[in-house]
Amino acid sequence: MKKIGIVGATGYTGVELLRLLVTHPDVEISHVTSRSNVGTRVDAMFPNLRGFVDLEFSDPSIEALAQCDLVFFATPNGVAMKHVPALLEAGTKVIDLAADFRIKDIDVWSKWYGMEHACPDIVAEAVYGMPELNRDLVKSARIVANPGCYPTAVTLGLKPLVEAGLIDLNNIIADTKSGISGAGRQANVGTLLSEAGESFKAYAVQGHRHQPEIAQTLSLLADTQVGLTFVPHLLPIIRGIHATLYVRTKTNDNRQNSDESSLQSLYEKTYKNEPFVDVMPPGSHPETRSVKTSNMCRIAVHKPSDNQVVVLSVIDNLVKGAAGQAIQNMNLMLGLDETTGLMQPALLP
């Protein structure tokens, strides 16, 4: 059994890691940390885990965490980077679910996250943990930067078109919506039920931290810089991300390669062997509820006019957008079957 530690396990991402890991057949959760809740039983805070986790929150001691085979950081931005060097030195693998290692340009990272990076040398080593892009690199990685939720939905939705060179890369529009759990578990007036319920709004239109992450990933896929308009919205639901992606085909010369049936075939071929990407039948409109609590991304591709393509991509922001994808990466890093512990169907209703 592989020993696993979770640093900062009191947020929604942390409890989702716990929920999925407690039934994983090949790992044992040995350390669950929280500085402000040392000595509190995990199942006292999260009663859904009663009978599954017999641990107390402990202090995040590097000496204790270094005894683990792999450690997850489910912490705020800027925390993991202070501890990762010591863990890597001790031979412990790391998956960071925050943004400390996602953006390769340190100046860009500092601009968006408002702090100086503590270990820029390790950023260069960190593998961007989207298995559908970097599976082989993840397998051999010591440290993985788990992607953000919006970037996961957007990147998986656009990957086939970008790689095939079929679209105008200068004007990609990502119109995205997230459930309220994406804002985290901390108290915030804007995410109170009476504030966010029965309402719908855009936010961070002038700039969102996931924009440079998405642009970086798409630019690497395209081998050139892309032009991206990214606008997030807040949905009055708990879980789920819906990305509506608008792109234009390059020229009419590509028409034979970009009619709707050809695009459908392109997506089906691209994701044929991906266990957690479901390309839906032509004309489909995937719903967030169809992926709730699952590690699945469901995608549908439409061509409403000669030179326009609309891609619909849905995920659960806490699973494929966070904890589930992290466990998918963990499986690869530890030499386990990639799907282990993640094959549950979505929850309905």
Residues making up the chain, counted from first to last: 349
Measure the CA–CA gap between 161 and 263, rounded to whole angstroms: 8
Eight-state DSSP code of residue 323: I
| Residues 203, 232 contacting (CB under 8 angstroms) | yes
Give strand pairing partners of 73.
Answer: 7, 96
| Residues 93, 335 contacting (CB under 8 angstroms) | no
**Active-site choice (68, 119, 149, 297):** 149
Eight-state DSSP code of residue 77: T
Which positions ≥6 away from 93 have C-beta within 8 Å? 69, 70, 71, 141, 142, 143, 144, 333, 334
Measure the CA–CA gap between 180 and 237, rounded to whole angstroms: 6
Q: Is the dihedral of CA 101, 104, 107, 113 positive or negative?
A: negative
| Residues 75, 9 contacting (CB under 8 angstroms) | no
Closest CA to 276 of 179, 345, 347: 345
| Residues 14, 76 contacting (CB under 8 angstroms) | no
Measure the CA–CA gap between 34 and 119, rounded to whole angstroms: 23
| Residues 65, 92 contacting (CB under 8 angstroms) | yes
Q: To the nearest 10°, report the CA torsion of 61, 64, 65, 70.
A: -170
What count of Cα atoms within 13 Å lies in the side-chain half-sphere of residue 217?
A: 27
149 is catalytic: yes
Query: H helices within the chain, ranges in order?
Result: 12-21, 42-45, 62-65, 80-89, 106-113, 120-125, 131-139, 149-164, 193-196, 210-222, 255-258, 260-270, 324-333
Name the residues annotated as catalytic.
Answer: 149
